[in-house]
Amino acid sequence: MNCESLRDSYELFVFGTLEGPEREEIAAHLQRACPECSAGVNRARVLATNLGSIAPPVDAPGHLRAHIMRAVVQATPRMHSFWESIFWRMAFPVSAAAALTLLLVVFGLGREIGSLNLELKTLQKSAADSRKREQVLVSRANAYRAALALMSARESREVRFGPGLKPNKQPDGRVYLNPKGLVMIASNFPAPPKGRTYELWLLRKSTKGAEPAGVFDPDASGGAMHVLARNINVNDIAALAVSDEPPGGVQERTGAIVMVVPVTGMTR
């Protein structure tokens, strides 16, 4: 390399941060008393000394140097031994104040970067939580709209259940049956057993067995609303039943029956 290509590396060489072929090339130029490189390195030394003289006095924590040196040793590829590194950093008269100022700047930037990374992770988590919350609210709003449409339709029929059977011990509420689906609104539902959910069943007059009609979970107060949005033959339904089942529901009932609602006495 010629002196012109090394001109921008003199300051890094003086501070001991220049690595690789450039450092070796400048050292070789100095060894053979290259006038241009010798003058450039001397100017860089003067600049470093002046930098140290204008730096304000700072009382650094006693553990700062140990932390920084440990971080540097861990983060820097081992191009040369530790003692070689120390030699190159002590080979030129850089003032202690300038070195300390540089170390404090590096330390402060590291802390700032860590703080920004933590804030970024917090914002990313907050955005993800907001998206999940939005999805839940949209799904709930769609369910409410579907329920309202079925409940207010002229073809819908209403069946009440609960209060007259076992007061305060069984769920009570209403079921709205419509050829396009049904809506069940209930209160006093106990929480399902741990690791289980509730599943609604249609008991038909024309066939034996029970037809699955979706799963639901009550809220903390025992309230529940379930919407089934598919065509059903209202006149063929003899009763509705609810059982506790594994999450996601099953095609054939396996759990205990929580309640049975006979479909009789339907009103508009």
Order of all β-strands in the sheet with 210-216? 210-216, 197-204, 237-245, 257-262
For helices 64-75 and 96-152, angle between their N-to-C axes, nearest 10 degrees: 70
* Domains in the chain, number: 2
Is 267 part of any domain?
no
Question: Which residue, 60, 2, 45, is CA-closest to 26?
Answer: 2
Residues 162, 170 contacting (CB under 8 angstroms): yes
Q: What whole-number distance in Å separates Cα of residue 173 and Cα of residue 162?
A: 6
Is 181 part of any domain?
yes
Q: What per-residue confidence (pLDDT) applies to 46?
A: 73
User: Of 109, 134, 149, which closes a domain?
Assistant: 109
Is 58 part of any domain?
yes
Is 12 part of any domain?
yes
Q: What is the DSSP letter of 192?
A: P
Is 83 part of any domain?
yes
Residues 206, 237 contacting (CB under 8 angstroms): no
Is 144 part of any domain?
no
CATH number of 228's domain: 2.60.40
Q: What per-residue confidence (pLDDT) applies to 193?
A: 92
Is 134 part of any domain?
no
Q: What per-residue confidence (pLDDT) applies to 204?
A: 92
Is 36 part of any domain?
yes
Q: What per-residue confidence (pLDDT) applies to 105?
A: 62
Q: What whole-number distance in Å separates Cα of residue 44 and Cα of residue 10?
A: 6
Q: What per-residue confidence (pLDDT) applies to 14?
A: 78
User: Of 49, 84, 109, which closes a domain?
Assistant: 109
Q: How many CA atoms lie within 13 A of 212 on its CB side?
A: 15
Q: What per-residue confidence (pLDDT) applies to 91?
A: 47
Same-domain pairing of 179 and 253: yes
DSSP secondary structure of 17-68:
---HHHHHHHHHHHHTT-HHHHHHHHHHHHHHHHHHHHSPP----TTHHHHH
Q: Rounded to the nearest 10 degrees, how much is the dihedral formed by the CA atoms of 44, 50, 52, 55? A: -130
3-state secondary structure of 86: helix
Q: What per-residue confidence (pLDDT) applies to 78?
A: 53
Same-domain pairing of 165 and 252: yes
Render each residue's pLDDT in the chain as its tens digit; 268 residues: 788 887 778 877 877 777 788 888 888 888 888 888 888 888 878 766 765 555 555 555 555 566 666 665 565 555 555 545 544 454 444 455 555 566 666 666 767 777 777 888 888 888 888 888 888 788 778 878 887 888 888 889 999 987 654 445 678 899 999 999 999 999 989 999 999 999 999 999 988 889 999 999 999 989 998 999 899 999 999 999 999 999 999 999 999 998 999 997 666 6
Same-domain pairing of 89 and 167: no
User: Of 77, 109, 141, which closes a domain?
Assistant: 109
Give me the domain span that covers residue 13: 3-109
